[in-house]
Amino acid sequence: MHFLCPSSDLREGHSRGFSLGNTHLFAVRRQGKVYLYRNRCPHRGITLNWQADTFLDSSAQLIACVHHGAQFLIESGECVAGPCEGDTLEALNCQEDTGGIWFKD
């Protein structure tokens, strides 16, 4: 397991990016649960963000790709709007405990 951050560093309704070597991922907290995805859009295979820790749309209800406007459900990673509609982000295993948020590879 790889330590990502203390739980307090990922507030409700926010996202945060991480790099573990050549692996880029991001986490989103929604309704107390942490969702972890590979930072790679299924449309072009590029990262979703261009600003650090900015993975959500303006309403903080959907994950958004800033490059071409695709929008994804936070809970499943399914694309619900944009050129890759029907595709999904790659979900990753994570665990949260008293020590913080962990990536389980």
Supply the CATH number for residue 41's domain: 2.102.10.10
pLDDT at 76: 97
Count of domains for the chain? 1
pLDDT at 105: 82
Residue 19, classed as helix, strand or coil, is strand
Q: What is the mean pLDDT of the chain?
A: 95
Nearest CA among 39, 34, 32 for reference residue 18: 39
Residue 17: pLDDT band with limits 50, 70, 90 = very high
35/67: higher pLDDT: 35
Domain that holds residue 88: 2-104
